[in-house]
Amino acid sequence: MDIDMIGPGIILGMGCLGSSIGCGIACMASHGVMARVEEGYGKFVGVSAVPSSQSIYGFILMVLMKSSIRAGTLAPVAAIGIAISVGLAIMFSSIYQGMCAATAIQASAKKPAIFGKTLASLAIVESFALFAFVFALLIIY
């Protein structure tokens, strides 16, 4: 059995899974809010898409892991360990970012003036996915 590409597959899958859950949570909130407000639909949709960035981190790590494994600088078993730990961090970050986006959408529907301020919480949650991404890069290279 060839296990070489299990790690890259895990990291991509977890990044995309988390992003889809996070975006789904935020999109559901935006749909509910759009039914009650008369304007601002674009910003609600935009905020709903914020958790999708973690799938990009998973994709980049998948490509880099794949090339490192093929070059012989990363053991496939090490890649699985990195993928599971970093993948979980990225996945949970995007899920919780979706939850924060949902509350940002709901709060800004009530008080449109706070919309920009609500984006700070999304950036804070995103930073943990970025930390995991950077740490994985340091381990891979």
The answer to whether residue 54 is domain-embedded is yes
Q: Which pLDDT tens digit goes with each residue over 85-140? A: 999 999 999 999 999 999 999 999 999 999 999 999 999 999 999 999 999 999 99
The answer to whether residue 89 is domain-embedded is yes
- Please state the domain count of the chain: 1
Percent of the chain with pLDDT over 70: 99
Residue 31: the pLDDT is: 92
Residue 1: the pLDDT is: 58
The answer to whether residue 85 is domain-embedded is yes
The answer to whether residue 1 is domain-embedded is no
Residue 45's CATH number: 1.20.120.610
Query: Which long-range CB contacts under 8 A does 88-92 form with residues at least 24 apart?
Result: 88/14, 89/128, 89/129, 89/131, 89/132, 90/11, 90/14, 90/15, 90/18, 90/54, 90/57, 90/58, 90/129, 90/132, 90/133, 91/14, 91/15, 91/17, 91/18, 91/21, 91/54, 92/18
- pTM check: above 0.95: no
The answer to whether residue 105 is domain-embedded is yes
Q: Which pLDDT tens digit goes with each residue over 25-59? A: 999 999 999 988 888 888 999 999 999 999 999 99
The answer to whether residue 79 is domain-embedded is yes
The boundaries of the domain holding residue 58 are: 6-140
The answer to whether residue 129 is domain-embedded is yes
Q: How confident is the model at residue 81 (pLDDT cuts 50, 70, 90)?
A: very high
